[in-house]
Amino acid sequence: MIAIGCDHAGVEMKKAIIEALSLQGFEFMDMGTDGEPCDYPDVAASLCNEILAGHCEKGILICGTGIGMSIAANKFKGIRAALCSDSFSTRFTRLHNDANVMCMGARTLGQGLAIELAEIFLTTSFEGGRHQRRLDLITAIENKE
C-alpha cells in the first residue's frame, strides 16, 4: 500500500498518479485533500504516521513546489523524504538513500513527468551495501548518538 497526499495545489496531479499507477497494480491510501484548502504540514504528518505505523510501505506527497512537504515530512524520525524533479535523482534517492517518501511540486512538474517519477520511485529498490552504513549514520543522527 502506498500513501499519497497533497494540499489543494496538488489535487489534479494526485488523481492522475493514482489513476495511472493503479492500472499497474499499485494500491493507494488517499490521505487527501480532495480540493478543500488545507495546510500541507497536516497532510505530511498524516501520511508519515501511516508509514511509521506500518500501514503503508512508501508515500508520495505533493504541494505547489514539493519543498514544504519535504521539510515537514523530514521532521519525522524514520522518514527519509526527497524532493524529486528528475528521473536520475528519483532513481538514486531509492538506490542510495532508501527514501520512503517522495515529494513533488504540482506547479513545477507536468503530470506526465510526475507519473513517470512516481513509477521510478515505486519500482526502484535500495542497493544496500555501502549505502546502508550511511543510512545507519543518519539514524544515529536522528537518535542523537
- From 63, 84, 103, 131, active-site residue: 63
96 catalytic per annotation: yes
Q: Which residue has the cell 490521505?
A: 31
* Rounded Cα distance, 119 and 124, in Å: 8
Any catalytic annotation for residue 63?
Answer: yes
Cell digits for 72? Answer: 515537514
Is the separation of the CB atoms in 30 and 55 below 8 Å? no
Would you list the DSSP string of 56-86? -SEEEEEESSSHHHHHHHTTSTT--EEE--S
Integer distance in angstroms from the first to the last C-alpha of the chain?
Answer: 32
Q: Could you write out the DSSP letters of every residue in 108-132?
A: TS-HHHHHHHHHHHHHPPP--THHH
- Active-site residue set: 63, 96
